[in-house]
Amino acid sequence: MADSIDAQFGPEHCVWHLASTTTGPDEAVAVELEKSAGRAQLRGGIAAAAACLQRATELTSDLARWGLRALAAAQAKYQAGAFDVARELVDAAELSRLDDVRSAQAVLLRGQIMSVSQSASAGLPLLLKAAERLQSFDAKLARETYRDALYAALTAGRLAAGGVRDVAEAVLNAPSLTHPATREDLLLQGVARVITEGYAAGAPVLMEAVVAFRTEEVAPEDGLGWLPLVCRMAHTTWDFDAWSELSARLVDMGRDTGALAFLPSSLLLRLIRFTQRGTWSRP
């Protein structure tokens, strides 16, 4: 069947049939599967990308490369909402020769999986641990991890391990990434200052951040991570128009990219806004 398909017009079908007939490690097929995964992600097929990456991992013999592919497959499975498989792949990746950066990313991914599949309080300690470890290697990813930790702490409330204030203080003590501060920096600083110093101290910073996210373009890969917290802060600062607009964009991003892991919380943010407006007829 692979031979009967023109690889120029149907590369994904061709490589998938090849992968299905491969009985042992095959680096050439694994590489083609990675390419297919990249193309699938570009068109919003995260589930298909995850399947390709998982099969690429199975066809890999080199232990170091196998760990990297298992981690990539786990990330895609998590985004696609296949949490049990994602957890198994993280377990497998951590048994390989991951360097310090990839090891911290595995902790981050495990924390993200636990936050959505179990509870925010369960994933929070791992998110904080990952953020602290990532600061030395990847400041941008560390900032995004602190964002996830803040969101988890706010969701967990009194159940947050160590308390929401401890998370906010960790955010404020983290090294600043850029000068002047970006909208992402402002958002994190605003949330942390509301928690540690009070509403009057942090609200103006939050308002500035919410306006920036509303008026400036947000790529889907960034929006899926940042807009949930922005929507919550729009509610906190009583900017209900921003909340309506940004929650709608967030739901669209989740659907367009196939990121099923983000849809439940995105739809909940949208639903809460409809409820508060008294718009009962909207689905």
- Residue 267 has a pLDDT of 85
| Helix ranges, 62-198 (H) | 63-79, 83-94, 100-117, 120-134, 139-156, 164-173, 183-197
- Among candidate residues 79, 110, 143, the one where a domain is terminated: 79
> Helix 27-42 crosses helix 63-79 at what angle (to 10 degrees)?
20
Least confident of 122-126, 189-193, 203-207, 275-279: 275-279
- Residue 44 has a pLDDT of 76
84 within a domain of the structure (yes/no) = no
Burial 75-109 (b: 16+ CB within 10 A, else e): bbbbbbbbbebbbbbbebbbebebeeebbbbbbbb
The CATH number of the domain holding residue 257 is 1.25.40
Q: CB under 8 Å to 127, separation ≥6 — which residues?
A: 108, 111, 112, 115, 145, 148, 149, 152
pLDDT in tens, 230-257: 999 999 999 989 988 998 999 999 888 8
Query: Would the pLDDT of 268 be above 60?
Result: yes
Q: Name the domain count of the chain.
A: 3
42 within a domain of the structure (yes/no) = yes
- Residue 67 has a pLDDT of 92
Burial 195-217 (b: 16+ CB within 10 A, else e): beeeeeebbebbbebbbbbbeee
Same domain for 181 and 271?
A: yes
145 within a domain of the structure (yes/no) = yes
**What is the distance between the alpha carbons of residues 115 and 126, in angstroms, rounded to a whole number?**
10
pLDDT in tens, 4-29: 555 555 566 667 667 777 778 888 88
Same domain for 75 and 4?
A: yes
- Residue 178 has a pLDDT of 66
Same domain for 181 and 156?
A: no
- How far, rounded to the nearest angstrom, does the alpha carbon of residue 192 sit from its chain's CA centroid? 20
- Among candidate residues 122, 138, 170, the one where a domain is terminated: 170
- pTM of the shown model: 0.85
7 within a domain of the structure (yes/no) = yes
Same domain for 206 and 162?
A: no
* Mean of pLDDT values over 40-60: 87
Same domain for 145 and 187?
A: no
Comparing CA positions, the residue from 160, 171, 229 lying closest to residue 237 is 229
- Residue 8 has a pLDDT of 56
Average pLDDT, the chain: 86
Q: What percent of the chain has pLDDT over 90?
A: 48
205 within a domain of the structure (yes/no) = yes
116 within a domain of the structure (yes/no) = yes
Query: Would the pLDDT of 148 be above 90?
Result: yes
- Residue 161 has a pLDDT of 62
Same domain for 10 and 35?
A: yes
Same domain for 166 and 180?
A: no
Greater pLDDT, 233 or 157: 233
Query: Would the pLDDT of 87 be above 90?
Result: yes
86 within a domain of the structure (yes/no) = no
**Residue 21: HSE in the Cβ half-sphere, 13 Å Cα cutoff:** 8
**What is the distance between the alpha carbons of residues 127 and 116, in angstroms, rounded to a whole number?**
12
Q: What percent of the chain has pLDDT over 70?
A: 88
Same domain for 114 and 191?
A: no
Same domain for 199 and 263?
A: yes
Same domain for 142 and 213?
A: no
Positive or negative: CA dihedral 138, 70, 220, 204: negative
Same domain for 283 and 212?
A: yes
Same domain for 128 and 153?
A: yes
73 within a domain of the structure (yes/no) = yes
Question: Which domain, by its residues, includes 111?
Answer: 99-170
